[in-house]
Structure 1
Amino acid sequence: MKQRFDEILETLNNRDSLLEEFDDEIFNALVEKIEILTPTHFVFELMSGLRVEEGGE
């Protein structure tokens, strides 16, 4: 887990500027999977195990 976290930090720290658009490398480094519960309700599961729920009712 620590090695994975260090890789993510390295990816973010190697940026020359602030993000101005979607970066699939960073997204793929952070997000393990996305559960689609309904068309407007989904859960992001991060590589750290943290689950972030969006949408719903």
Structure 2
Amino acid sequence: MKLDKVIDLKDGLKQRFDEIVQTINSRDSLLEEFDEVIFNALVEKIEVLTPAHFVLELKSGMRVVEFEE
């Protein structure tokens, strides 16, 4: 049973990763400005802890902590 859950989790992460790669590869040129489609493909949610401290939770499960000075 545990192995099935691990396999399902791995498959889900692989699918999300493939979607992200496909979105990025669909571009015809280099990214020169904000792209809402790519942002939405990468970011699951943004957690604002204070006006100068926030956390981006990516669809891959990775969390990116940012501090603004």
Q: What is residue 12 of structure 1 aligned with on the other side?
A: 24
Larger relative helix fraction: 2
State the alpha-carbon separation in 2 of the partners of residues 55 and 4 from structure 1. Answer: 27
Runs of 4+ in 1 over 6 A off after TM superposition: none
Which protein has the bigger strand share? 1
Greater relative contact order (CA < 8 Å, ≥ 6 in sequence) = 1
Q: 2:26 and 2:47 mapped to 1: Cα distance?
A: 30
- For structure 2, the 5+ residue unaligned runs are 1-12
Work out which of the residue numbers 55, 58, 63 in structure 2 matches 1:43: 55
Runs of at least 5 residues in structure 1 that lack an aligned partner in the other structure: none
Output aligned runs, 1:24-35, within 5 Å: 24-35=36-47
Question: What TM-score does the superposition give when structure 1 sets the normalisation length?
Answer: 0.91
Which of the pair has more CA radius of gyration? 2
TM-score computed with the length of structure 2 as normaliser:
0.76
Count of matched residue pairs: 57
